């Protein structure tokens, strides 16, 4: 699935403005908590990556899956 980076936060440093990532669930963040910043989205999920504080992040996609795993699915 194509993920769109919305912010230049260091957490996503080095990623292009659009990148492919594995998505394998239907969980969704319907409303981020107050103060959270949305760092990335996709056509399926408006909140693919959130920043909750200086060192607290959450992602919906699977950054641990590399290209080999993605090709095998």
Domain extents in the chain: 1-10+34-73
Digit-coded pLDDT (tens) for 13-41: 989 999 988 887 777 888 999 999 999 99
Residues 6+ apart with CB under 8 A from 36: 50, 51, 52
* Per-residue pLDDT, 26: 74
pTM of the predicted model as reported, rounded to 2 decimal places: 0.83
First to last CA, the chain: 12
């Amino acid at each position: 699935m194509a993920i769109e980076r919305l912010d230049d936060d260091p957490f996503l440093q080095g990623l292009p403005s659009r990148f492919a990532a594995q998505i394998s669930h239907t969980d969704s963040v319907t409303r981020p908590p107050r103060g959270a910043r949305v760092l990335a989205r996709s056509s399926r999920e408006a909140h693919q990556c959130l920043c909750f504080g200086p060192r607290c992040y959450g992602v919906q996609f699977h950054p641990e899956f590399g290209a080999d795993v993605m090709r095998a699915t």
